[in-house]
């Protein structure tokens, strides 16, 4: 487990590309480019790999682009993959005084989408979002219906319900709590269907590496104060085709959340056996097969 110390994001990723225990994590870290986006300060980390029609992948809460390390090699032969760190998360810059909340996440993604279209000259892109990234994907698709071709949501969180802002002080305590090594280990194990088999030093390293970025705790606390993503699928989902995958052994999405999502999504959902909250890590080959059709 990495110590929680401040290190510049570029330095962290350059080192990760050489030293991560997970070889697929090393490869994805090495694929990071630093994009300058109009209207946003500092360069932004975006993993870019593969060839073909562009496909944008969005990671989940308190995570990074590295969570797609298993799925990316399976999609890259047929797509150019664009895997950014979401605003306020991963290895992104976190300037003091910036806003951190769902609105800023989506506004930043809109700018990134425009830059992606400019670079690729593609009229429309595919979109995959995992957990909180599923809500971000739905919001982006709703705002940019002409730019997004179709969506695949992996264990989407936040499509139903209401925002629940965390009160001041509790948000800071929550960020400190999430930084504790034992808590990180427990959350990582909860996300997998078979943690005894799948969670070891390599997984724990990737789950905690981004905590070393300057401003991680204040940005996470600010996002918690905002209430986060909730109700993004209600009352109407965006018009694009949507497929949804989640694991039968998902212990992150609670039963009431699943029931509410089932009522909203209906036959769009496919449940995977032997899979937890991370289909793209637990069963990447099936996810890739379903995306490719």
- DSSP three-state, residue 15: helix
Alpha carbons 170 and 166: distance in angstroms, whole number: 6
DSSP classification of residue 13: H
CA distances to 60, 148, 204, 246, 250 from 253, rounded to whole Å, are 13, 26, 21, 9, 6
Predicted confidence (pLDDT) per residue in 207-247, tens digit: 999 999 999 999 999 999 999 999 999 888 999 999 999 99
pLDDT of residue 2 exceeding 70: no
pLDDT the model gives residue 36: 95
Q: How far is residue 78's CA from residue 4's CA, in Å, rounded to a whole number? A: 38
Q: Confidence class of residue 15 from pLDDT cuts 50, 70 and 90?
A: very high
User: What is this structure's pTM?
Assistant: 0.96
**CA gap 17, 31 in Å, rounded:** 9
Indicate the helix (H) or strand (E) that contains 270: strand 269-272
Contacts of 93 (CB under 8 A, 6+ apart): 9, 41, 42, 43, 44
- CATH 3.40.50.150 for domain 9-292, yes or no, is no
d(CA 288, CA 293): 8
pLDDT digits (tens, 9 = 90+) for 141-182: 999 999 999 999 999 999 998 889 999 888 999 999 999 999
**Angle at alpha carbon of residue 115, lines to 78 and 292, rounded to 5°:** 20
Q: Report residue 135: phi and psi, to 5°.
A: -65, -45
Distance between CA atoms of 293 and 239, rounded to whole angstroms? 20
- The rounded radius of gyration (Å) of the Cα atoms in the chain is 17
HSE-CB for 111 with a 13 A CA cutoff: 16
């Amino acid at each position: 487990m990495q110590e929680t110390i401040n290190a510049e994001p570029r330095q962290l990723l350059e080192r990760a590309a050489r030293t991560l225990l997970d070889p697929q994590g090393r490869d994805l870290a090495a694929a990071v480019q630093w994009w300058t986006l109009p209207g946003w300060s500092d360069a932004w980390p975006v993993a870019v790999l593969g060839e073909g029609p562009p496909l944008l992948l969005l990671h989940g809460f308190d995570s990074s682009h590295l969570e797609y390390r298993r799925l990316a090699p399976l999609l890259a032969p047929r797509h150019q993959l664009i895997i950014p760190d979401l605003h306020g998360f991963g290895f992104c810059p976190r300037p003091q005084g910036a806003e951190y909340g769902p609105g800023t996440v989506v506004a930043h993604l809109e700018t990134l989408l425009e830059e992606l279209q400019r670079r690729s000259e593609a009229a429309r892109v595919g979109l995959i979002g995992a957990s909180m990234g599923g809500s971000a994907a739905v919001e982006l698709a709703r705002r940019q219906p002409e730019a997004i071709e179709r969506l695949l949501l992996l264990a989407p969180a936040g499509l139903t319900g209401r925002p629940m802002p965390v009160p001041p002080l509790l948000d800071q305590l929550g960020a400190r709590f999430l930084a504790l090594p034992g808590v990180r280990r427990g959350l990582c194990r909860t996300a997998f269907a078979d943690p005894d088999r799948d969670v070891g030093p390599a997984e724990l390293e990737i789950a905690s590496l981004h905590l070393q970025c300057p401003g991680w705790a204040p940005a996470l606390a600010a996002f918690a104060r905002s209430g986060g993503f909730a109700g993004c699928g209600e009352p109407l989902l965006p018009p694009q085709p949507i497929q949804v995958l989640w694991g039968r052994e998902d212990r992150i999405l609670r039963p009431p959340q699943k029931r509410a999502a089932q009522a909203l999504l209906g036959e769009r959902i496919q449940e995977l056996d032997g899979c937890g909250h991370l289909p793209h890590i637990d069963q990447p080959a099936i996810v890739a097969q379903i995306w490719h059709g």
